[in-house]
Amino acid sequence: MIKFCFLHLVLPSKIYEKKICTQKLEQKFIEKNSIFSFKNKIFKKKKFFCMKSSEIPSNTVWEIDFFSRPVLNEDGKKLWELIVVDQKGTFEHIEAIPNNLINSRELKKRINALIEKSPQKPILIKFFRSQMFNMINIALSDLNINVRPSRRTFALFEKISEREENVYPKMSGYRPFMKEVDVNDMLKKVPQKMPDTLRGEKYVFASISIPELESMVNSGINFGQMCPLPKNFDFNQKIPGIVILSERAKSLSSWFDGIELFNIICDLETKNIMIECGLDTQYLFGKFSEETIQDRVNLEPKLFEKNKKKSQGVHFIAVQEYSKKKPIYGIWTLRV
């Protein structure tokens, strides 16, 4: 069996102790009435969702966006669109919605109709806009389908980018200044304390090539998920990441698999290492000292961010049992 941490990764000599505090778990899974909690926003599901990310067929994962576009209709009102794609890229549905029908009831009606006529029913539906949380929550709450707020909607991001570049500018009512800007992305957040359930004892910075990583995933990893790579990605480029070492790596991997991991940030100003997940959740994963940044040998946090830019935002997080003889239990590639 492949030993992930010690045979395939370029590792530093230093292993860091995590300095994190405890708090009540942000995301709860409760059988028969599962609840996602994101900053006091409650998202209910009818069924307990226990499938691993790697076990869900990509063509049964739908990614939806219901939002206005930078285009004015003939009546001077914004164009609203419902965009639905599957994770595999084999299914696509785009329709304009009249402004007087922008509500949860209409959204539910159209999603239901789409599911009914689709040859491949979705198992999981993801959405990424926190602004539309309440409307989507109400619209999808009665569906017998699992719904997950997530920024791991890569197929949807690509479709929106494609339309912003090639479709909307050709429309007569196009107004580039009306492009949506997420204010939350522009503000520096105060990270939440890491929940006990997501804590690991130690961590190391590491790097690995995509072919090596894919080989590991194909060899049989308990938990994890690969994200699609950017176009013209250099496969010789090693991607940076963090390996979490824990005595309870299996349970930790299971929890990571359910929180929709999105990004790792090494903030050189605050000396914080943060994990972003869900719609807008940011956890304080660890701290690093000023000496770590200035030391010529130990430049891991600074190099991590530098290498993340080189790899076009692609990086990873992995969980391994704290023993040289143990393989990893989970690995996820992330992309920002």
Above 80 in pLDDT, residue 210?
yes
Of 53-57, 171-175, 225-229, 236-240, the one with minimum mean pLDDT is 53-57
Above 60 in pLDDT, residue 8?
no
Amino acid of residue 133: F
The Cα 243–Cα 203 span in angstroms is: 5
Counting residues of the chain whose pLDDT is more than 90, the rounded percentage is: 50
Above 60 in pLDDT, residue 1?
no
With beta carbons less than 8 A apart as the criterion, state whether 156 and 85 touch.
yes
Q: Which residue has the higher pLDDT, 52 or 8?
A: 52
pLDDT tens for residues 280-291? 999 999 888 766
Looking at residue 47, its pLDDT comes to 40
Above 60 in pLDDT, residue 19?
no
Looking at residue 275, its pLDDT comes to 95
Closest listed residue to residue 167, CA positions, set 232, 84, 96: 96
| Region(s) of the chain under CATH 3.30.420 | 35-181
Amino acid of residue 46: K
pLDDT tens for residues 39-89? 334 344 444 345 677 778 888 999 999 999 999 999 999 999 999 999 988
Looking at residue 141, its pLDDT comes to 87
**pTM of the model as a whole:** 0.80
Render the burial of 91-105: b for 16+ CB within 10 Å, e for the rest.
Answer: bebeeebeeeebebe
The Cα 88–Cα 324 span in angstroms is: 36
Query: pLDDT band for position 184 (50/70/90)?
Result: low
The Cα 232–Cα 239 span in angstroms is: 15
Of 59-68, 103-112, 165-174, 196-205, the one with minimum mean pLDDT is 196-205
Residue 96 token pair: 């304009």
With beta carbons less than 8 A apart as the criterion, state whether 277 and 283 touch.
yes
With beta carbons less than 8 A apart as the criterion, state whether 318 and 328 touch.
yes
Closest listed residue to residue 128, CA positions, set 157, 103, 170: 157
Above 70 in pLDDT, residue 9?
no
Fold of 35-181: Nucleotidyltransferase; domain 5 (3.30.420)
Give the per-residue SS3 of the chain: CCCHHHHHCCCCCCCEECCCCCCCCCCECCCCCCEEEECCEEEECCCCCCCCHHHCCHHHEEEEEEEEEEEECCCCCEEEEEEEEECCCCCEEEEEECHHHCCHHHHHHHHHHHHHHCCCCCCEEEECCHHHHHHHHHHHCCCCCEEEECCCCHHHHHHHHHHHHHCHHHCCCECHHHCCCCHHHHCCCCCEECCHHHCCCEEEEEEEEHHHHHHHHHHHCCEEECCCCCCCCCCCCEEEEEEEEECCHHHHHHHHCCCCEEEEEEECCCCEEEEEECCCEEEEEEECCHHHHHCCCCCHHHHHHHHHHHCCCEEEEEEEECCCCCCEEEEEEEEC
Residue 48 token pair: 């307990």
pLDDT tens for residues 265-278? 999 888 899 999 99
Q: Which residue has the higher pLDDT, 237 or 292?
A: 237
What is the Cβ-side half-sphere exposure of residue 108, based on CA atoms within 13 angstroms? 15
Looking at residue 291, its pLDDT comes to 63
Looking at residue 92, its pLDDT comes to 95
With beta carbons less than 8 A apart as the criterion, state whether 264 and 275 touch.
yes
Of 12-16, 62-66, 192-196, 206-210, the one with minimum mean pLDDT is 12-16
Residue 171 token pair: 């429309």
The Cα 330–Cα 224 span in angstroms is: 5
Q: Kindly report the average pLDDT of the chain as a whole number.
A: 80
